[in-house]
Amino acid sequence: MRREKRTITQVTDQNGTKHTSPTATIETFVEHFEQKFQKIQVDEGCVKIMVEAGHRRLPEDLKEILDGPLTPEELRCAVDEGKKKKAPGRDGISNAYFKVDWETMKDDLCKLFSEMFLDRKLTSKQKHGVIVLCPKKTCPVVPADYRPITLLNTDYKIVARIITGRLKPVLAEILHPSQHCGVPGRTIFEAVATVWDAIAYAERANIPLC
């Protein structure tokens, strides 16, 4: 089922003022999200301790897996993993385009993505995303009634899938055992169980928790 595109014609800011002009509407959303995603003050010392905790060096044989040249099989797998009907990014090119015309462009694509890996950089345009505001309710009024989703270019997502495919086999080797998110074979339920075990042990040993 295809969703109808709707233009936001009005929005109410945090002071209860309704805005209808395009400029004021955009400014209201910008102000809202700047406040919502503003920088969080943290203890730099604690962050440093966490970063250095359980730090491991990557074995030399695994470095070859990550730094090796891009193969046509890797690229094809990354293209196949993408869904056809996913919304495209700023360039308007969807994953369906790469799938349908794969035989025609596979050689050029392989050269292009190989250069990205060799140079280890993407252009600023490739990294640009388009923020789309999806309403959380039938009649949204304030900015908080919308969920922002960033549409990224398909070539950017293909590169991300290739890197992800290379990282997955080595994550367990370099991450601390307490790291669960993103590691194959580990789940968030194990993290919860670990916390409960720690609390239970502290209670038995009469160790203050705070």
76 and 129 assigned to the same domain? yes
Q: Are residues 99 and 188 in the same domain?
A: no
Q: Is residue 120 part of a domain?
A: yes
Question: pLDDT for 79-101, tens place per residue?
Answer: 999 888 888 888 888 999 889 88
Structure pTM? 0.73
pLDDT at 5 over 70: no
Residue 51 in domain: no
Four-residue CA torsion sign, 62, 66, 67, 71: positive
| Torsion from C-alpha of 83, 88, 93, 95, nearest 10 degrees | -10
Residue 81 sits in the same domain as residue 161: yes
* Per-residue DSSP letter, 175: S
**Confidence at 1, pLDDT banded by 50, 70, 90:** very low
Mean pLDDT of the chain: 84
In a domain, 139, yes or no: yes
Give the DSSP H/E element, type plus range, for residue 149. Answer: strand 146-152
pLDDT over threshold 90, residue 135: yes
Is the pLDDT higher at 149 or at 194? 149
In the chain, what's the furthest Cα-to-Cα distance? 69
Is the model more confident about 125 or about 27? 27
Among 45-54, 116-125, 194-203, the range scoring the smallest mean pLDDT is 45-54
171, 181: one domain: no
Q: Are residues 132 and 64 in the same domain?
A: yes
Q: Are residues 65 and 18 in the same domain?
A: no
Same domain, 126 and 64: yes
146 pLDDT band, cuts 50/70/90, is very high
**Half-sphere exposure at residue 59, Cβ-oriented, CA atoms within 13 angstroms:** 9
Assess whether 95 and 163 both reside in one domain: yes
Give residue 147's pLDDT.
94
In percent, the amount of the chain with pLDDT more than 90 equals 27
Domain count, the chain: 3
Predicted confidence at residue 18, as pLDDT, reads 95
Q: Which residue range forms the structural domain that includes residue 84?
A: 58-176
37 plus 88 within the same structural domain: no
Residue 138 has pLDDT above 70, yes or no: yes
Whether residues 144 and 172 fall in one domain: yes
Looking at the fold, whether 115 and 156 belong to one and the same domain comes out as yes
Q: How much is the average pLDDT of 116-122?
A: 78
Please check whether residue 52 lies inside any domain of the structure. Answer: no
